[in-house]
Amino acid sequence: MSADYPRDLIGYGNNPPHPRWPGNARIALSFVLNYEEGGERNILHGDKESEAFLSEMVAAQPLQGQRNMSMESLYEYGSRAGVWRILKLFRQFDIPLTIFAVAMAAQRHPEVIRAMVAEGHEICSHGYRWIDYQNMDETQEREHMRQAIQILTEISGERPLGWYTGRTGPNTRRLVMEEGGFLYDCDTYDDDLPYWEPNNPTGKPHLVIPYTLDTNDMRFTQVQGFNNSEQFFQYLKDAFDVLYAEGEDAPKMLSIGLHCRLIGRPARLAALKRFIEYAKGHEQVWFTRRVDIARHWHTEHPFTGKAEQ
């Protein structure tokens, strides 16, 4: 990485650090539930068009200046029915979740956010809106960040310590670091372990915990994605098996991305349940929240001034 080419294509290379997960775990398993319903594009939210992304209507196009009632109802399934089915499943297996919570969505259904907190799940900020920030000006994005922190703090009773925008802009990472109150962010997909971001304008260490777009139920809505629950289960199982085997001498992290309106459908939840049962059948697994991974890394692998360590 250099000023002329600000990308890191090397990372840890062939010498990743041993994470020293709690309990001598061979794998840290992080389930992430995205709570977005009510924060997506909609003319009711002041947008110029309707939502068209990540739903059963895989070929949908935005409707300019109009509501898409079918799309809205697909999202509403997540907040009305899907989320409660998912929370029940994780309660049954006593597994903590990290919730990527969109603040506007949380405002429209504070009861479910409080229920998540009561069950010990982490509320991580997923921004103020569930929109693409690529072309948003810096001032507005900074204001959205401020609003998200304030809203989620008021509803949950705790300030969010993690951040994930998803569809980031060129200023997102810098704004997160400048805000200064986050233990970590997840806006990359580039590693199987956390790492320290070297380019922090504040001069303070900033931890990145990479997320995932492959072990993610979003692929039910995409070309070359999952067509049935068995494909989803098998893909998660294969990822787990490879990383668990590697974990004998080089433990890693496995993130699994979930969405209320997608995995909350009964057939898909059945696959998730099978995978959880499979993972629970292994002894050296750390089922954990991302904030706990962050705290562990801050303690076990503190920043030393190098890009990676």
Share of the chain above pLDDT 90, in %: 92
Strands 206-208 and 195-197: antiparallel
Residue range 114-142: average pLDDT?
Answer: 97
For residues 273 and 10, the answer to whether their CB atoms sit within 8 Å is: no
pLDDT in tens, 242-295: 999 999 999 999 999 999 999 999 999 999 999 999 999 999 999 999 999 999
- What pLDDT was estimated at residue 306? 58
Burial class, 15, CB count within 10 angstroms (exposed 0-12 / middle 13-18 / buried 19+): exposed
- State the pTM of this model: 0.96
Kindly tell me if the per-residue pLDDT of 199 is higher than 70: yes
pLDDT band for position 162 (cuts 50, 70, 90): very high
* Pairwise CA distance, residues 171 & 201, whole Å: 12
Three-state secondary structure call for residue 140:
helix
pLDDT in tens, 206-242: 999 999 999 999 999 998 899 999 999 999 999 999 9
Please measure the distance between the N-terminal and C-terminal CA atoms of the chain and give it in whole angstroms: 15
In this prediction, residue 1 carries a pLDDT of 67
The rounded distance, in Å, linking the Cα atoms of 57 and 8 is 36
pLDDT above 70 covers what percent of the chain? 98
Residue with tokens 């704004």: 175
Residues 237 and 198: their CA atoms lie apart, in Å, by 34
pLDDT at 98: 99
For residue 309, pLDDT beyond 50: no
Distance CA(76)–CA(66), nearest Å, equals 17
Class for domain 22-300, per CATH?
A: alpha beta
In the chain, where are the structural domains located? Answer: 22-300
